[in-house]
Chains A and B, each alone.
Chain A
Amino acid sequence: MTKVDYEKVGALIGIEVHQQLDTKTKLFCNCPTQIREDEPHFTFLRRLRPTQSELGEIDPAALFEFHKGRVHVYENYDDSICLVEQDEEPPHLLDKEAVDFALEISLLMDSQPVDEIQVMRKLVIDGSNTTGFQRSVVVAFGGAINVNGFTVPIQTIGVEEDAARKIREDGTNTYWRLDRLGIPLIEVATAPAMKTPEQVQATALRIGQIFRVTGKVKRGLGTIRQDINVSIKGGAIIEIKGVQKLNLIGQVVQYEVQRQVELLKLREELKNRGVRAGQINNEIHDVTPLFKTSTSKVIKGALKHKEGVFALILPGFAGLVGWELQPGRRFGSELADYAQFWGGVKGLFHTDELPNYGITAEEIKRLHKHLKTTQSDAIIIVAAPKQEARDALNAVADRTREALKRVPAETRGPLGDGTTRYSRPRPGAARMYPETDVAPVTVTQQRLDRIRQALPELPEEKLQKFKKEFHLSDELAQIMIRSLRIDLFEQITKSHPQLAVTVAASLETTWRNLEREGVAVDDIPEDQIILIFDHLAENLFAKEAIPDLFTWLAKNPQAAVEEAVQNLGLGAISKGELKAIVDTIVKENSKMISERGDRAMGPLMGMVMKEVRGRADGKLVNELLRSAIKVQLDSK
């Protein structure tokens, strides 16, 4: 694969950033917006039926799932989930707090709020919504944000309900938990106006920053998700849904552009070889007898279960099934995705990768002979029950024919390394219709004025404030405005502005260091962290004790801060005690002091700090030590 010239291939990229709001209630009922890990109290099960449009359109993937008898099992809690999430009661009014928040974001992004918000139902029948649709509203249009000097136009700003959480799949049953369903999500969609992975990454970061300055979004992995749409000249609009990690976005874009470029090259190669779509037919060959004595584990396993081995011929494709599209992902991987999705088979073999996996050269030779194919053809093999193999190979044949025509429009899902896999066909024009159970909401001028008056500062305004008022270094201030814990920082510094530098360093530098060491800092309840700084402000211990406190509390998240202080033997020592310790150490090291003079300060400081272990403030130690050394030197 060659390096991509984004300008030349005409890459156009847009993103949709979704983040959970930290509202008191869900978007359409009064349940808390709380994710739970304890054992669910009860379950119920449903089937979702693909509904048909007036034009007779039906979502093929949904229909397929329905015919497979997909059953959705929903997990519930008696005390935090109500009949609305269970689709046993009509939705209540659109949550005011969430709408206010979306309007706030709209004003921050110069987007124009609509006059009247209409609640829509967006059909989603994978089971993630008990209703079979996601309720969604557009709150504002247009606007722009500035990302490192580049203007990114905003298309829409909206609010929608988050989906249920998929817990596991078990045969035809899918288990979902309803705790997440209905949590409000803000959605900001940019125009497809970005041209490089760097721009996209920076834009996502910027949107996230703007969300966080409001202090009204949830924190942590899983609370923010990005959908990225990527197209290139001659390619297709590919939507990559649910990228959770910010630093993966650039990589995802780069690999998707690469994938489309490679697919177009593959098409060119096929054209050069004279392969035509008409040559690929959906004829599926039962080749089970040829593999009766196969040593391949997969095939042996399939035959043991009375399944078969089936083959599909791809004329003229030899060598091309192994064409690399993304690092470690070949055209064959795409075919395998289709086979898996439509046929439910675990995987497939193709002759470009054989002999291997226990399939011998002899078997391949026999296969070619039996199918009357030549070395220039590729053969796809699936070992599975007949119907599944048939569904799988039909999908493979369809996808292969597509390769001769175009890059198919798809919805894809991200893999851990930034590559992506096929997840389903891209739905046609969004299938939406009005949610008649919820009244529309008029956006009044008074409401906008009220929100406008209380707009938070933008990140760059905060940056200045952090530097000027809180005396944070430029570096630390930059880190803080990007921090996931910026609102915690602001909350603490509201009561203790004098501790700002310590708070920032603790919440970022210390935090990250501890995380690297494997300390689960995230487990410490927020109010405990606030309490630590309250105590610090009262000089109950010195700031040097913070790493130890974080570590201890991460291990004992239920314990009180006071317990931590006691257990760690903290509790600040008096100035007199400290002076005694300093004097002792100075005395013991008088030789070093006379040898090194002022430069003895460093090692001595270390010794004292080790002795007092966070029970004394470093600044005070420094002061006392310096004067003790001075006394010592002067006395000589």
Chain B
Amino acid sequence: MTSEEPAGYLGEAEQTLQKAKIKIGDRIQIQTAQNTFEGIVIPRAEIGADDKHIIIKLDTGYNIGIHIDNIQQLTRLKKGRKVKPDLPSVTRKTKKGLPLISILSTGGTIASRVDYHTGAVNPALTADDLYTVVPELGELANIQAEVLFSVFSEDLLPSHWTTIAKQTAKHLEESAGVIIAHGTDTMGYTAAALSFALQNLPGPVILTGSQRSSDRPSSDAALNLTGAAIAASQGPFAEVVIAMHRSPDDTSIALHRGTQVRKCHTSRRDAFLTINTDLFGEVKNGQVQILAEDSTYHHRNPKRKLQLLPKFDPKVALVKTTPGMTGDRIDSLIDRGYHGIVVEGTGLGHAPKALLKAIERATSETIPVVMTSQCIWGRVQMRVYRTGVELVQRGVIPAEDMIAETAYVKLMWVLAQTRDLKEVQKQMLHNIAGEITECSKRSQYEEMRDQ
């Protein structure tokens, strides 16, 4: 999540302030029947706010809300100082002998500063800001920082993935590695997108963010960011990974492969889990340790020529099947001109019989239908039960052990290159960036289960 511009006042409260020519940040005096309060006008909180209260910050630091009906007199004592917003820019600081890495921000406030004057949380955006907030970064690498955009991660579009991919490719011409600061909600999707868009990487591309906002002393942001910086500058690999806390402890940062990772908890620091394979690596005590087999990943090689395939077809839908579901939802996607459908089916890759007709219609109209499982863990296997067989007969593509979100992103990426149903099928079942494994290993699920 990103911090918004300080929310202003609405309705009656706004009128009351306007009438007295009072702006946010001004020092004012409010007289009520029993008390006189002096303090600074604070932006109205975004949650549960009505239009009947004015919030001031008292000299003790506490905020209180005063109902406008109780205000007998409202006086401005002093105009507030203007808080200069940070201007997004590319900044760079150099220290000899350190590798250069890039930090691209998309809106996740990986680093931020509190304005104790108004209580607003402002993102730290420039390299200078980052050095100030997380001084250890300066010891690890020279940093080139760029703000790509400032969007809540749930509002990111496939077109944003394209921009991120292009800018990452550009930065990789100079930088040893690229870090992408990202909101955690859809970080998994972006990681998958970059895994397909950036092939033949010369160095690591690392997405990171925070589960506890960075304005608080207990935030996971700084450790995630330094972990990402260590991996970007020293990691021996050239893959897209997510770097986030491995446990609630501030000790280890897990590195998850971009195509096999999912946010599995709403709030914990270790919300991200690797699905259907073993963890790729970790950063601990300042060192990168790769846990994956040597032969299973691309090693860092600055000379390698990156291949950029940044386009995504946004006309793809991800549909979860449920008991009682009928075919009309698939039909409506066809009617609306969607180019592809990923189904998150039940169990081994099943859908209610009621969907068969609509699915048949989709494939006959050359709209690929890809089957994944809402079980999250495991592989689809559509020859075991009759339902599966019937779906395959109608042209459904079983996506092996690809997780649904990755299959969704991959289908968008494949469709941007070809609409030929045969070719789509071939590409979907061809492992490009570790999204499909050949053997289902027991260890990863068992570790998960035994937690």
Contacts and interface: CB of A to CB of B under 8 A. Distances in A.
Given A54-B114, A430-B60, A431-B116, A132 B248 contact: no
Nearest to B269: A88
Contact of A133 (B45, B83, B217): B217
Interface string A130-161: 11110011100110000000000000101000
Contacts of A115: 53, 64-67, 70
Contacts of B216: 51, 121, 131-133
Contacts of B173: none
Interface in A17-71: 44-57, 62
Given A83-B268, A431-B116, A440-B65, A125 B217 contact: yes
A53 B215 CA distance: 10
Contact of A112 (B35, B58, B115, B212): B35
16 contacts: A44-B249, A53-B115, A55-B116, A55-B117, A86-B248, A112-B34, A118-B45, A118-B64, A122-B61, A132-B217, A156-B62, A429-B61, A430-B62, A434-B119, A436-B47, A440-B53
Given A115-B70, A120-B62, A133-B216, A53 B114 contact: yes
A283 interface: no
B65 A53 contact: no
Interface of A: 44-57, 62, 83, 86-90, 112, 114-118, 120-123, 125, 130-133, 136-138, 141-142, 156, 158, 429-434, 436-440, 442
Contact of A433 (B47, B58, B215): B215
Contact of B133 (A52, A117, A158): A52
Contacts of B251: 45
B218 A87 contact: yes
Contact of B267 (A90, A112, A431): A90
Contacts of B55: 116, 118
Contacts of A114: 64-66
B199 to A, nearest CB: 37
A439 B117 CA distance: 21
Nearest to B218: A132
B217 A48 contact: yes
B122 interface: yes
B218 A52 contact: no
Contacts of A130: 218
Interface string B353-396: 00000000000000000000000000000000000000000000
A141 B39 CA distance: 14
B448 to A, nearest CB: 18
Contacts of B431: none
A189 to B, nearest CB: 9
A437 B48 CA distance: 10
B61 A52 contact: no
B113 interface: yes
B116 A53 contact: yes
A436 B64 contact: no
A121 B113 CA distance: 14
A112 B34 CA distance: 7
B65 A44 contact: no
Contact of B250 (A45, A52, A56, A62): A45
Closest 3 CB pairs of A and B: A132-B217, A116-B65, A439-B48
Contact of A138 (B42, B62, B114): B62
Interface of B: 34-35, 37, 42, 45-50, 53, 55, 57-67, 70, 83, 113-117, 119, 121-122, 132-133, 212, 215-219, 222-223, 247-251, 266-269
A434 B215 contact: no
Given A54-B115, A112-B34, A46 B218 contact: yes
B255 to A, nearest CB: 20
A56 B114 CA distance: 10
A116 B218 contact: no
A431 to B, nearest CB: 6
A153 to B, nearest CB: 13
A432 B117 CA distance: 9
Q: Is the interface of B mostly helix, strand, loop or mixed?
A: loop
Contact of B60 (A90, A112, A116, A156): A156
A118 B218 contact: no
Contacts of B217: 48-51, 62, 123, 125, 131-133
B48 A431 contact: no
B248 A88 contact: yes
A442 B50 contact: yes
A54 B34 contact: no
Given A118-B65, A430-B61, A51 B114 contact: yes
A117 to B, nearest CB: 7
Contact of A54 (B48, B49, B113, B248): B113
Contacts of A132: 216-218
Nearest to B266: A89
A47 B250 contact: yes
Contacts of B247: 44
| Most central of B35, B57, B83, B114 by chain A CB within 10 Å | B114
Contacts of B53: 115-116, 440, 442
B73 to A, nearest CB: 16
Contact of B83 (A54, A87, A438): A54
Contact of B122 (A54, A56, A432, A438): A54
A156 to B, nearest CB: 7
| Most central of B59, B62, B113 by chain A CB within 10 Å | B62
Contacts of B122: 54
A131 B220 CA distance: 11
Nearest to B65: A116
Nearest to A430: B61
B61 to A, nearest CB: 3
B35 A436 contact: no
B130 to A, nearest CB: 12
Given A49-B219, A432-B116, A440-B45, 10 more contacts: A44-B247, A54-B113, A54-B116, A88-B269, A89-B267, A120-B62, A137-B62, A431-B61, A434-B63, A440-B65
Nearest to A71: B250
A254 to B, nearest CB: 27
B249 A52 contact: no
A169 to B, nearest CB: 18
A439 B47 contact: yes
B248 A433 contact: no
Given A54-B83, A142-B35, A433 B116 contact: yes
A436 B45 contact: yes
B113 A433 contact: no
A136 B276 CA distance: 44
Given A88-B267, A115-B70, A434-B45, A120 B113 contact: no
Contacts of A123: 217
Nearest to B222: A49
B66 A432 contact: no
| Most central of B45, B49, B55, B251 by chain A CB within 10 Å | B45
| Most central of A118, A132, A438, A439 by chain B CB within 10 Å | A118
Contacts of A45: 249-251
A109 to B, nearest CB: 13
A444 to B, nearest CB: 10
A434 B219 CA distance: 16
A449 to B, nearest CB: 16
A28 B61 CA distance: 21
Contacts of A50: 217
B45 A54 contact: no
A116 B62 contact: no
Nearest to B37: A141
| Most central of A50, A90, A122, A141 by chain B CB within 10 Å | A141
Contacts of B83: 54
Contacts of A438: 47
Given A429-B61, A430-B60, A83 B267 contact: yes
A82 to B, nearest CB: 11
Contacts of B65: 114-118, 440, 442
Nearest to A74: B248
Contacts of A52: 113, 132-133
A39 B53 CA distance: 48
